[in-house]
Amino acid sequence: MPYRIVVPHDYGPEADGALAWAGSLLKSTGGTLVLLHVILVPAPPIKKMPMIPALRPTEDPDASLVKLRAIAEQYSQPSEVDVFETNDAGPGIVERARSLGADLIAIGAETKGRGGLSRAILGSVVDYVVWHAYSPVVAIRTGPPAPGFSPKLPDT
C-alpha cells in the first residue's frame, strides 16, 4: 500500500533530516511525499479594527513554493508542495496534514530542544503534533546521539 507522508519543513537541518528519512522510506514502499511549510501570521483582527500592515508576514507564499520545490529536487525526491498561513504552527500542521490525507507525519526534532520552564510555558510544535495528530507521527532527531547511548539489538 503506497503511503502519503507529510513532512513539515521550516528550511532547517532538522526538517532536512525528516525529509531524507521519509524519502528513503518511500523509495522502499512507494507513495507520495508532501512537503508542508507554515507561514505564521498574527491572529485575525478584531472586528472593525484593521490589521496593521507591518504585522503581515514578510514571507511570500509563492517564493516558499519555489524554495520547497528546490529542496525536494536537491534530495532527488519527487513531491507535492503545500504552503499555508496560520497563527499557530502545531494545530496548523495537524489540521493541514489531516486535510491532505496523511498516512504518516515525519517531523524534524531538535537534538537540544527547549527544556524546563521554557518548554512548559511555550510548548513545542513537535510535542503538539505528536500528541494531537490524526495519523502516526515519527519525530526524526538529527545530530549525534546522547552521551552513553549505544543502540544494541537483543540477541535472538
Cell numbers placing 36: 508542508
In percent, how much of the chain has pLDDT > 70?
A: 72
Q: pLDDT confidence of 132, banded at 50, 70, 90?
A: very high
Q: How far is it, in rounded angstroms, from Cα 95 to Cα 33?
A: 17
**Separation between Cα atoms, residue 127 and residue 125, nearest integer Å:** 5
Spatial distance between the Cα atoms of 113 and 56, rounded to a whole number of angstroms: 28
Domains (range + CATH), the chain: 3-141 (3.40.50.620)
pLDDT tens column, 44-77: 555 555 555 555 546 888 999 999 999 988 888 7
Whether 106 and 9 have beta carbons less than 8 Å apart is answered as: no
Other CB atoms within a 10 A radius of the CB of residue 11 amount to: 11
Cell numbers placing 96: 493541514
E-state strands within the chain: 3-8, 31-40, 80-86, 104-109, 137-141
User: Alpha-carbon distance 77 to 12, whole Å?
Assistant: 17
Q: Is the pTM of this model over 0.75?
A: yes
3-state secondary structure of 61: helix
